[in-house]
Chain A
Amino acid sequence: MTIMTKMKGVATAFSFAALMSVGGASLASAEDVTLTMAVPDWPPTRIMKKMFDEQYKSETGNNVKLEVDFIPWPDFYTRVNASLTSGEQKYNFAVSDSQWLGAFVEGGYFRKVNDLIDADPELKATMDEMHPAPLNAYSTYPNSTPNYYGFPQFPDVLVNFARSDILCHDEEQKNFQAQFSKKLPCTGEEIDAMSWDDFENVGKFFQRKKGEMLAGQPADDDFYGIAYQAGKGYDFSSMQINGFIWQEGGNVWDETKQPTGQAEGVVNSPQAVGALEHYLRLIQYMPPVAKTGTMDIFKSDELFREGKVAMNINWIGLGEASLDPKTSKVSDKLVFGLAPGTPGPDGKLVRWSNIGGQPFVLTTWTTPTQLTEAMGFVKWWLSSDIQHQFAAGGGQSAMKSVYSDPKYVTYRPWNRAWAASLDWQKDVWHVPQFFDLLTQQQDQFDLAITGKQDAKTTLDNIAKYQQNLLTEAGLIQ
């Protein structure tokens, strides 16, 4: 390289730098901001990403990019947990199961958002408009206090998936009437009105061996009336059993009654024992896999889509696959209703149930610039128009103005059960000890489900363990 070319090069570099600094000054507001988000890989998050890429424009004029790490569900917790607790500081946003709030807020990873909500009247109005059940479940720590941490990403409840071709068949109707002196539920309204005893009757009624008559034809395989989760994994029986316990007047350890709320005597109360026995009674009428402790959310869904059961209670989040003829053998024969309830003293159904779904949360290491953009994204996400689009694409909304819109029930067949279900949703254990409580309880429930232990012993063991653990942690006095 000669001296001249070197000089030229230096001169070019200088002028380029000068140009850059001038340009930089005039365009100071248009920055590239990247928000990194950890989400489970499934339609509700894929839809969100797609809508963002196609529609989102930041009001600040910055060029905002949402980098979404789609992590398969089975590994989602492991990945997020390791990332947060190791101090990797990789994600600005994370979708979190509502019960994880306690552990990760205490660890200092999730950012409190009260100041951000208060600073923005529009956002405050949006939060006020949220149904209180999902708001408390997805946002608050400690549970049901006005300390907010999250925003709903995909709210979810349990609904009843049913086969109209089987349930509405004349012969089945006639035989059911003869056997139980009641009408076999067939329409959405009739399913809404079902109690757990009616559900049990459906289970008793449909226990057909291969070759026996089913809806006017010989069954091509063993057929069962009902399916409901009874799995050992994650929370695949606790969520279900909690509903039974609440509906029959019992309670789980309630963290909102800290520090006087006890586990011993509450968790194993006679009502709770009765409720667990009721739940366990249903298992004998389900497909045999239920007795092995592997009837998780996916197994009951698969049995239903393959046409092996008449009714399945499951999360709405798994509903899309049932409607798609490519993945479901029953896609054109479906009817949806509320999950069953328990008749209360006034004869009306009590429908307490454990809420599903996930919020997304902000992490504490998000920089001010990122924070501004993140809040812009949150407001956009919770705006009425976007929530409607999300619901139309297969999501759900917890905002009153959205789900009470007459259009809402037309988006998906199960949406007719949505608004009525929301009032009855509760959540549990927004405490750091969540996973201790859950794994021990799941182990104990599994022993009961697989017939190795009765309901009383199971709940006694759980109560004893929880009393110990929570007393040690200072949550029970």
Chain B
Amino acid sequence: MATSTTIWEKLGFRKASGVTEAGWGQTLLAGLVSLIYFLPVLLIIITSFKVQNEAMSVPPKFFPTSFFGLIPDVYVFSPTLENFTSVFSRAFVTGGAVESTGFDRFFFNSMFIAGSSVLLALVIGTLAAYGFSRYPLKGNDTYLFIILTTRMLPAIVVIIPIILMFRIAGLSGSYPGIILLYTAFNLPFTIWMMKSFFDELSLDVEDAARIDGSSELRVFFKICLPQVVAGLAATFVFGLILTWNEFLFALLLTGIDTRTVPVAMNQAVAGGGIGVLWGLLAAIETLFLIPVFLVTFFLQNHLLRGVTFGTVKR
């Protein structure tokens, strides 16, 4: 085993000869399928570089350059970064002055709200999952099922009580309110996922530690938690993805200052006295994709490392 890894090996080629575990056939197939699967997203990204007048062209313009005349002009658009600047500031009225759209704020809000609520849910949920797994209560499964039930109703049904509650508590339009709500929104999945992880751990090590006189806290932090890092990563990513794009609660419970991107995104769907501003919508979505894309990419190894589950119990 070479101690220094080449870039070639980093990309997944085991040896310089390119022998892989899966074989070339499957590698090619995977490449092809992934690209096809990614195509609709790619088209959104391409659209983010088009001006409004080129976005809907017939035939569609796929290429930013003609590759030295290789591709007929009808398929070539002239790429622009205008959409990306328009996300943050543009003229709302034809010929009017350029104004800030507030999107810098909305991006911050999305990151802050989603990030903190998912982390909070992870902390609270992991504790609860550990409790459910190690110290089963009377009717443990019933509690777990009730927790799951809270995810089953359409959100619109609970929204009226929540709005009223928020108003009375002075929480509407504030960060703590929406963060707490999203925490609750994430808890069922977090608890179910993390419980599955804890159930899989071998009890022998823990018992041995207890016999050695370790406190319960020590057992949890030093023995159990390090074994479920993969689970924490997976739960974090799933929670983040779901919270990141949540729409209805954000629409109804955030104020002007705490609005998140999914709500503001509709500016580009029917704003400005025009239907869809294609380039702008694509640019918002592309920018909005980047943070969660990067988080997933960097946690990817954790997601796949030695995750094992038991069965889902009722």
Contacts and interface: CB of A to CB of B under 8 A. Distances in A.
A binds B: yes
A306 B274 CA distance: 12
A43 B256 contact: no
A89 B164 CA distance: 10
B272 A43 contact: yes
Contacts of A318: 273-274
B266 A50 contact: no
B275 A302 contact: yes
Contacts of B53: 325-329
Interface stretch (B24-32, B35-43, B91-99, B190-198): B91-99
Contact of B96 (A50, A83, A325, A329): A50
A298 B270 contact: yes
A85 B274 CA distance: 29
B270 A321 contact: no
Interface string B41-54: 00000000001110
Contacts of A79: 251-252
Given A42-B271, A46-B92, A79-B251, A74 B266 contact: yes
Interface string B256-292: 1000000111110111111110000000000000000
Contact of B163 (A41, A82, A297): A82
Contact of A88 (B51, B172, B265, B271): B172
Interface in B152-190: 159-160, 163-164, 167, 172-173
Interface residues of B, number: 34
A86 interface: yes
A179 interface: no
B117 to A, nearest CB: 21
Contacts of A393: 93
Interface string A42-84: 1110110010000000000000000101101111001100110
A74 B270 contact: yes
B16 interface: no
Contacts of A86: 159-160, 163-164, 167
B294 interface: no
Nearest to A45: B92
Contacts of B96: 46-47, 50
B56 interface: yes
Nearest to B161: A86
Contacts of A78: 251-252
B58 interface: yes
A86 B252 CA distance: 11
Contacts of A323: 94
A228 to B, nearest CB: 16
A299 interface: yes
Given A43-B92, A67-B256, A85 B160 contact: yes
Interface string B70-97: 0000000000000000000000111011
A64 to B, nearest CB: 17
Contact of B164 (A87, A297, A306, A320): A87
A200 interface: no
Nearest to A36: B256
A285 to B, nearest CB: 20
Contact of B273 (A67, A221, A299, A317): A317
Given A67-B256, A72-B264, A74-B266, A298 B271 contact: no
A220 interface: yes
A40 B258 CA distance: 18
A466 B31 CA distance: 57
A328 B52 CA distance: 8
B266 A72 contact: yes
A430 B47 CA distance: 42
A82 B275 contact: no
A73 B268 CA distance: 10
Interface residues of A, number: 46
Contacts of A327: 52-53, 274
Nearest to A302: B275
Given A46-B92, A69-B256, A302-B56, A89 B167 contact: yes
Interface in A13-49: 41-44, 46-47
A107 to B, nearest CB: 13
A192 interface: no
Contacts of B275: 297-299, 301-302
Contacts of A82: 159-160, 163, 252
A41 B92 CA distance: 9
A75 B251 contact: yes
A298 B274 contact: yes
A329 to B, nearest CB: 6
B269 A74 contact: yes
B56 A87 contact: no
B272 A72 contact: no
A278 interface: no
A220 B51 CA distance: 20
A394 interface: yes
A47 B96 CA distance: 9
Interface string A268-301: 0000000000000000000000000000011101
Contacts of B276: 298, 302
A220 B272 CA distance: 29
A72 B167 contact: no
A325 B264 CA distance: 26
Nearest to B266: A72
B269 A324 contact: no
A400 interface: no
B52 A43 contact: no
A204 interface: no
A426 interface: no
A87 B272 contact: no
Nearest to A301: B275
A410 B272 CA distance: 22
Contacts of A69: 255-256
A229 B256 CA distance: 33
Contacts of A42: 271-273
Interface string B198-223: 00000000000000000000000000
A325 B51 CA distance: 11
Contacts of B58: 220-221, 306
A90 interface: yes
B138 to A, nearest CB: 38
A326 to B, nearest CB: 6
Given A72-B264, A326-B53, A41 B271 contact: yes
B15 to A, nearest CB: 53
Task: Give me the 9 closest cross-chain CB pairs, A-B, nearest first.
Answer: A298-B275, A72-B266, A86-B163, A321-B274, A46-B92, A73-B270, A221-B58, A42-B273, A327-B52
Given A88-B164, A220-B58, 8 more contacts: A69-B256, A72-B265, A78-B251, A82-B163, A83-B252, A86-B159, A86-B160, A320-B273
25 contacts: A42-B272, A43-B93, A43-B94, A43-B272, A43-B273, A47-B96, A50-B93, A50-B97, A72-B270, A73-B270, A82-B252, A83-B163, A85-B160, A86-B163, A87-B164, A87-B167, A88-B167, A306-B58, A317-B273, A318-B273, A319-B273, A321-B273, A326-B52, A326-B53, A394-B93
